[in-house]
């Protein structure tokens, strides 16, 4: 039985108290089936010691959600009127990326292996959760429809092993394994706002998602050297930050923030 050390730890609610953040991360990871380490750890072999890395991303306010910003363009006919609320701060009106779902921080290193358990991707509310996911080759994804109406996810390159469009009723799920390394953009025939990315990278060992303030944590990293890289819209965003993970302590802090973007934009 092949061992998998793929770790995926998405979304942390933004305003959650710091002391509860770790538990939330773990809970969420379990919920998404990504951090089911017990599921793919061999019962006969002693699992290698792992540690967690926490850090911070900066410049997230410069990442603009492509779907929302396209929708605000009047030429795209997405509304009959759109007016600002005068009592909301101007900064808040920028349609920035939703970090907990759109900007994973991926630990790139040696020994990345796919989990035998499919990573669950929720489909609800006009998007998927997560929106961008980075996985090693051979990693299966299970899309679960959490909406009370059908979805039909697909990728454009269906002839190369992409995801063909098929209706997915309420509560139904589909499992798909990306055919190889690369970036795959997911769309939904029934919901134009759904636009997600699956990045297949052989070096993707584990990942974590920052909260609204930019703090993130990656769990289950074996000892070794890693480059922490943020991804956005299916592509690396910003420069990676390297870290040597030691077996101890269990929670290691990244010395410098990960700058995901520096260019201003938005409204």
- For the bound state, the minimum distance from the C-beta of residue 25 to another protein, rounded and expressed in Å, comes to 9
What phi and psi, each to the nearest 5 degrees, are found at residue 262? -130, -10
CB 61 within 8 A of CB 230: no
**Could you tell me the smallest distance in angstroms from the CB atom of residue 12 to another protein?**
7
Smallest distance from another protein to CB 6, Å = 21
- What is the DSSP code (8-state) at residue 234? T
Q: Is 167 in the site for another protein (CB under 8 A)?
A: no
Task: Kindly tell me which of 43 and 88 has the beta carbon lying closer to another protein.
Answer: 88
Nearer to another protein, 41 or 190 (CB): 190
Give the residue, chosen from 16, 30, 41, 227, that forms a contact with another protein under the rule CB under 8 A: 16
> What distance in Å separates the CA atoms of residue 157 and residue 177, rounded to the nearest whole number?
13
Among 103, 112, 194, 260, binds another protein (CB under 8 A): 194
Sign of the dihedral through C-alpha 84, 86, 87, 89: positive
For residue 240, cis peptide bond before it (omega within 30 degrees of 0): no
Largest CA distance in the chain: 62
In terms of Cα–Cα distance, which of 114, 124, 110 is closest to 5? 114
Residues 198-257 that bind another protein (CB under 8 A): 212
Asked if residue 28 binds another protein (CB under 8 A), the reply is: yes
Q: How far apart are CA 27 and CA 103, in angstroms?
A: 19
Chain positions contacting another protein, by CB under 8 A = 12-17, 20, 24, 27-28, 65, 67-68, 71-72, 76-85, 87-89, 92-95, 98, 100, 122, 124-129, 146-150, 170-171, 190-194, 212, 267
């Amino acid at each position: 039985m092949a061992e998998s050390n793929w770790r995926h730890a998405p979304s942390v609610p933004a305003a959650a108290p710091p002391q509860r953040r770790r538990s939330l991360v773990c809970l969420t990871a379990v919920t998404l089936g990504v951090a089911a380490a017990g599921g793919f750890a061999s019962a006969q072999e002693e699992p290698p010691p792992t540690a967690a890395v926490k850090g911070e991303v900066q410049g997230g306010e410069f990442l603009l959600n492509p779907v929302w910003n396209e929708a605000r363009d009047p030429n795209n006919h997405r509304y009959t009127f759109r007016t600002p609320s005068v009592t909301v701060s101007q900064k808040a009106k920028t349609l920035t990326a939703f970090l907990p779902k759109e900007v994973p921080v991926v630990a790139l290193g040696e020994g990345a292996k796919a989990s035998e358990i499919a990573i669950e991707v929720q489909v609800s509310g006009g998007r998927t959760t997560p929106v961008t996911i980075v996985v090693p080759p051979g990693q299966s994804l299970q899309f679960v429809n959490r909406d009370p109406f059908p979805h039909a996810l697909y990728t454009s390159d269906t002839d190369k092993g992409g995801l063909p469009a098929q209706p997915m009723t309420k509560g139904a799920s589909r499992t798909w394994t990306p055919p190889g390394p690369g970036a795959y953009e997911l769309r939904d025939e029934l919901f134009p706002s759904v636009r997600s990315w699956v990045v297949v990278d052989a070096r993707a060992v584990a990942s974590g998602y920052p909260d609204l303030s930019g703090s993130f944590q990656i769990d289950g990293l074996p000892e070794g050297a890693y480059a922490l890289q943020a991804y956005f819209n299916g592509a690396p965003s910003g420069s990676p930050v390297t870290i040597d993970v030691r077996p101890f302590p269990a929670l290691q802090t990244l010395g410098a923030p990960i700058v995901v973007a520096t260019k201003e934009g938005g409204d």
